[in-house]
């Protein structure tokens, strides 16, 4: 049977449980037709590159499917009819990789970054702690102040 990768984006108004419900319906449709779901990944709520149907964010989900072409057409039809699904993309592939997708592996790298070192001092550093010895930055004692400045 041919292999497919299907990514769909659900509206940001729905919860993750509702997205899982949509995904479960698709999985049930594929398994009842004799196919198999080899990969299922929820990528989370992510920002869209541009507004789609007045939405700026969406829930992304990836499915790796092994199923017949008519079943895949039915999956695409169901996704197109669902009002909470903004966009879909389905491609036929040669093999399904068992490793996490690039999106999930990138997210894992961000979490492991940890401490990146001290901030370099530069143009936008605050004025504190620079150790300026210029007169305007030093605190003047009462003896240095003019009598006219104190009385005002």
Per-residue H/E/C for 9-57? EEECCCCHHHHHHHHHHHHHHHHHCCCEEEEEEEEEEEEEEEEECCEEE
d(CA 65, CA 5): 6
- More confident call, 129 vs 30: 30
- How does residue 124 score in pLDDT terms, banded at 50, 70 and 90? low
d(CA 78, CA 136): 72
pLDDT average, residue stretch 58-81: 95
pLDDT, tens digit, 9 for 90 and up, residues 86-101: 999 999 999 988 888 8
The arrangement of strands across the sheet holding 85-93 comes to 36-52, 55-66, 3-11, 85-93
Burial label, 68 (beta-carbon count in 10 A; 0-12, 13-18, 19+):
middle
State the pTM of this model: 0.68
Contact 71/1 with Cβ under 8 angstroms? no
Tell me, what's the pLDDT at 78?
95
The two three-digit tokens of residue 133, written as one number: 């010895």
pLDDT at 5 exceeding the cut of 60: yes
pLDDT, tens digit, 9 for 90 and up, residues 53-64: 999 999 999 999
Q: What are phi and psi of 44, to 5 degrees?
A: 100, -175
Residue ranges and CATH numbers for the domains of the chain are 3-95 (3.30.70.60)
pLDDT at 129 exceeding the cut of 60: no
- How does residue 105 score in pLDDT terms, banded at 50, 70 and 90? confident
């Amino acid at each position: 049977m041919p292999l497919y990768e299907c990514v769909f984006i659900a509206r940001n108004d729905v919860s993750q449980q509702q997205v899982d419900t949509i995904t479960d319906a698709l999985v049930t449709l594929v398994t009842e037709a004799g196919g198999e779901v080899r990969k299922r990944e929820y990528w989370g709520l992510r920002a869209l590159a541009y507004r789609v149907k007045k939405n700026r964010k969406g829930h992304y989900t990836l499915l790796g499917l092994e199923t017949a072409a008519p079943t895949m057409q039915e999956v695409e039809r169901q996704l197109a009819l669902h009002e909470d699904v903004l966009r879909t993309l389905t491609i036929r592939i040669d093999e399904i990789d068992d490793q996490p997708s690039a999106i999930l592996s990138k997210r894992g790298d961000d979490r492991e970054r940890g401490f990146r070192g001290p901030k370099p001092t530069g143009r936008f550093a605050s004025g504190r702690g620079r150790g300026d010895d210029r007169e305007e930055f030093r605190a003047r004692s009462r003896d240095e102040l003019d009598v006219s400045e104190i009385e005002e």
